[in-house]
């Protein structure tokens, strides 16, 4: 196994019974399971019950924090199998309780009308500094255990066009662009590439709603969590090539931030659209 999260192993679920699968978390140093992991694994569980159809949308809710030290059970409900569309519902279970649920719709591929937004302007991915360089700079001033977390290689490479400083955050517009791709090569399998995209889609997104407030993950008194997440898959793309994640946050209210994202391949093809609402709660530390 490579030094970073191996997505092929992570997304290769164990079949326990009809409609019942088991997934694992490889990095157990986390306090809670990364949301993108649960989305991707649940999507793969749903795909294991579908034939000759492609997911075109999924909608999910994060209910409880996931425990990285125990397996996740994914229970699939075959809600409907129609002539063109199939619907699946997936419940992710730990300690006898749902931690997450997902509804996904799958379609038999067919031709139809075509149009898309034009990809916004952005610098070329290799002209942007790798986010890992900022992590290394910060790790130099952290205790060894905290530094190890910052220096853990990632399954997704990221290059932020206008990154927020984690050490000296400032107020920025509620927009950001991030180039991303899988660290490891992938093949042409549509289901796996969609799952990798789903995994990556939860990265950087909630931070977009924090930018107008000059808040980052490490700000004392700040609490955050993904609440719900939706993806619309428009076209197929191999995720080992660079993709632009263009994001904006049109609203924050009631300790919740709302974010939208469009994912484009490097040639400008719109691959997927994403929306998320997350908890962004700040309580000033007691003096």
Do residues 209 and 224 make contact, with C-beta atoms less than 8 angstroms apart?
A: no
Average pLDDT of the segment spanning 54-67: 97
Question: Residue 228 contacts by C-beta under 8 Å, 6 or more apart in sequence?
Answer: 59, 60, 61, 62, 276, 277
Q: Is the pLDDT of residue 148 over 80?
A: no
Choose the final residue of a domain: 63, 78, 110. Answer: 110
List Cα–Cα distances, 228 to 35, 84, 246, in angstroms.
10, 27, 19
Q: Are residues 181 and 251 in the same domain?
A: yes
Residue 120 belongs to a domain: no
> Which domain range does residue 189 map to?
125-287
Whether 202 is catalytic is yes
Pairing of strands 85-94, 72-81: antiparallel
The whole-number pLDDT of residue 1 equals: 34
Please give the Cα distance from 77 to 49 (Å, whole number): 9
160 is catalytic: no
Phi and psi at 13, nearest 5°, equal -75, 150
Secondary structure element (H or E) that encloses residue 10, with its range = helix 7-10
Q: Which of 105, 201, 226, 237 is catalytic?
A: 226
pLDDT for the residue numbered 149: 63
- Shared domain check, 220 and 166: yes
Give residue 58's pLDDT.
Answer: 98
Determine which one of 105, 194, 204, 276 is catalytic: 276
The pTM assigned to this predicted structure is 0.94
Calculate mean pLDDT across residues 158-174. Answer: 93
User: Given 202, 209, 246, 249, which residue is catalytic?
Assistant: 202
**Number of domains making up the chain:** 2
Q: What percent of the chain has pLDDT over 90?
A: 84
pLDDT confidence of residue 76: 98
Q: How confident is the model at residue 63 (pLDDT cuts 50, 70, 90)?
A: very high
Query: How confident is the model over 172-210, as pLDDT tens digits?
Result: 999 999 999 999 999 999 999 999 999 999 999 999 999
The answer, yes or no, to whether residue 30 has pLDDT greater than 80, is: no
- Interatomic CA distance for residues 39 and 199, integer angstroms: 7
């Amino acid at each position: 196994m490579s030094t970073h999260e191996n997505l092929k192993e992570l997304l290769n679920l164990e079949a326990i019974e009809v409609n019942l699968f088991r997934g694992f978390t490889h990095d157990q140093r986390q306090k809670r399971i990364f949301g993108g992991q649960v989305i991707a694994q649940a999507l793969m569980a749903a795909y294991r019950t579908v034939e000759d159809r492609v997911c075109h949308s999924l909608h999910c809710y994060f209910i409880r924090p996931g425990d990285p030290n125990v397996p996740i059970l994914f229970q699939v409900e075959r809600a409907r199998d129609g002539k063109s569309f199939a619907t699946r519902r997936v419940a992710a279970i730990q300690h006898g309780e749902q931690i997450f649920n997902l509804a996904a719709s799958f379609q038999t591929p067919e031709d139809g009308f075509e149009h898309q937004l034009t990809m916004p302007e952005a610098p070329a991915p290799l002209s942007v500094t790798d986010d890992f360089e900022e992590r290394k700079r910060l790790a130099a001033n952290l205790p060894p255990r905290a530094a190890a977390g910052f220096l853990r290689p990632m399954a997704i490479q990221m290059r932020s066009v206008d990154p927020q400083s984690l050490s000296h955050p400032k107020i920025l517009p509620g927009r950001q662009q991030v180039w991303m791709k899988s660290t490891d090569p992938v093949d042409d399998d549509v289901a796996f590439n969609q799952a990798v995209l789903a995994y990556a889609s939860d990265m950087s997104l909630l931070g977009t709603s924090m930018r107008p407030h000059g808040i980052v993950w490490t700000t004392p008194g700040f609490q955050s969590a993904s609440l719900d997440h939706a993806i619309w898959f428009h076209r197929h793309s191999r995720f080992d090539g660079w993709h632009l994640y263009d994001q904006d946050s049109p609203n924050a209210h009631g300790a919740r931030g709302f974010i939208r994202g469009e994912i484009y391949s490097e040639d400008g093809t719109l691959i997927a659209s994403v929306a998320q609402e997350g908890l962004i709660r700040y309580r000033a530390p007691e003096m």
